[in-house]
Amino acid sequence: MSDQQKKLGLGSVIATGVGLIVATSCLMSIGQGASAIGTPFIISMSIACLFNILTALSICELNALMPNLSGGMAQFTLASCGPFLTIITNVGGFLCCQVILGSSEAAMFGNTLNQVLPSLPIPGAAYSVALIVILCILNLRGVDMFAKIQNFVAYALIGSLVVMGILGVIKVNPTGLVEQEAVLSTKASDVFSLLGLSFFLFIGVEFIVPISPEVKNSRRIVPLGMVLSLIIILVMQILVTIGFKNYTEWGELSQSTIPHVLYGSALLGKAGTIWMSIVSLLAVVSTVNTVMFGIPQICYGMAKINLLPRFFMRKNSKGSPFIGLILVTVALSLINATGLSSSEKLVFLINTGCVFWIFCYVMIHIDVIIQRKKMPAAPRTFKLPFGIFIPLIGVAGNLYMIWNIAPDAANRLIIFGIFAAVTLLLSLYAVFWIRIKMKRPLFKAFAIKEVMAMDTDMYQIRHYPMLAKKFHIEAEPEISPVSAETNTGTRPEV
């Protein structure tokens, strides 16, 4: 696809990053963290944001080495650590976790509407399933429709939260002010104990990578969009935290499941309640829309490199990988229809998913270290300074986040047990798929040139000619080895 044909710019990239990260569960987490130690929670958030920026920078270097890959993280790990770890990290860390997160967010949509419209005898699950089906229909219309929805929703969301945060900081309503201590704890141990919670507030920026093939000038726009997304979110969260301090009592904040609505009511009365309820709905739509677009793209990319069944490569006339989209829609709808997304156990599942997710971030840094060793002289349009120092710091920080995923030791053991069980199940699938279907070694990394070739339509047509027409694959102009090496920033592997 030529750069003129690509449809997404910096605004859409930032909207994608912001859209997935800023969820209603994140707004609730800000309230929990702030009520625990007060405004020093800003320090926890800043440290967590910094570690996520380090991860984003590692992703940018990998994307510069292997640009415009439809599966993103899967291809990076496949070229560094082999297919076994690729399946474990991507299926467990991205696909399963996002289905759980998307389900919980859709459930919050139904719960919010029940609170706003209590007179209507409609169960919350019905609202949730209706939202999922509507977003599925819209996403079937392709990347144009995704971008239109995401740009509007994400910027309305972040703009509203920034404005409400500023109004709270400048104390626009003197009559609603609360007199309380800004700092509840100055202990470093308390600040660092909330890093796991803070990390969740910034997780998900890598979902920008699967849309990079649709981004104009992606080598510049993708890194810039990732970092700007995280910084914009941090600024918004700092403003909201200070606003919480001025207008909501810490005790009430810790007990509320919708602290942003509590804050809006104290700040602007009924108008603030309505406004922040709308913000809740925007956050849900933004997150679920990103999940429903991103997961099919990841499945499509993993199918192209033969890590998932090839039916995930099916696209409709609008270019949407509809099989993955339909399966995600069914999964989200079933979870909400059965009420599982409102269960208390979902908290443990989300935390377990986050452990997988953070483990994926550890693997991203390891991928950078491996590629630095394998191809130290390969030209990269983006390269981390200071050698492998930043990836090593990222690995240490992410492992620390995993250890602090829950403040209670007993809860951590349960989460780690679930993590181990899911890993075992995924390992069984991975061994079967790799040894029986792929007939490849479990831990032998693929050559970068092979991974990049597998991502092209020409490769699929040559190796699976019967699938070309079935999956609507059209031949691309063939690139000579010399020009391919120049374009990808790699050199031939011996």
Maximum Cα–Cα distance for the chain, whole Å? 72
In 375-408, alpha helices (H): 389-403
Give the pLDDT score at 493: 38
Backbone dihedral angles phi then psi of residue 262, each to the nearest 5 degrees:
-60, -45
Q: Are 228 and 245 in contact (CB under 8 A)?
A: no
Q: What pLDDT band is residue 395 in, cutting at 50, 70 and 90?
A: very high
Give the pLDDT score at 469: 58
Average pLDDT over residues 220-241: 88
Q: CA–CA distance from 50 to each of 196, 383, 438 (Å)?
A: 13, 18, 39
Give the residue carrying structure tokens 């709270």.
168
Torsion angle, alpha carbons of 137, 292, 289, 341, to 10: 110
pLDDT beyond 60 at 489: no
Q: Supply the mean pLDDT for the chain.
A: 79
Pick the more confident residue, 445 or 210: 445
Q: Are 195 and 404 in contact (CB under 8 A)?
A: yes
pTM score of the predicted model: 0.77
pLDDT one-digit tens code per residue, 430-456 = 999 899 888 889 989 888 888 888 777
Look at 1-10, 21-30, 375-384 and tell me which has the smallest mean pLDDT: 1-10
Look at 73-82, 124-133, 336-345 and tell me which has the smallest mean pLDDT: 336-345
Q: What is the DSSP string of 53-85?
A: HHHHHHHHHHHHHS-S-SSTHHHHHHHHH-HHH
Mention every residue, 6+ apart, whose C-beta is less than 8 A from residue 247: 168, 173, 176, 177, 178, 263, 266, 267
**Angle formed by the axes of helices 270-304 and 10-21, to 10°?**
110
Look at 157-161, 168-172, 177-181, 203-207 and tell me which has the smallest mean pLDDT: 203-207
Q: What pLDDT band is residue 370 in, cutting at 50, 70 and 90?
A: very high
pLDDT beyond 70 at 348: no
pLDDT beyond 50 at 479: no
Task: For the chain, state the CA radius of gyration.
Answer: 22
Average pLDDT over residues 481-494: 39
Structure tokens belonging to residue 242: 């200070």
Which of 185, 171, 474, 188 lies closest to 317, judged by CA?
474
- Report percent pLDDT > 90 for the chain: 14
Look up residue 376 and give its DSSP letter.
Answer: T
Which of 102, 133, 124, 126 lies closest to 24, judged by CA?
102
pLDDT one-digit tens code per residue, 105-154 = 787 777 777 777 778 888 888 888 888 898 888 888 766 655 666 667 76
Range among 67-81, 429-443, 471-485 rated most confident: 429-443
pLDDT one-digit tens code per residue, 270-292 = 888 888 888 777 777 777 877 88
pLDDT beyond 90 at 84: yes
Pick the more confident residue, 461 or 95: 95
Give the pLDDT score at 492: 35
Give the pLDDT score at 345: 54
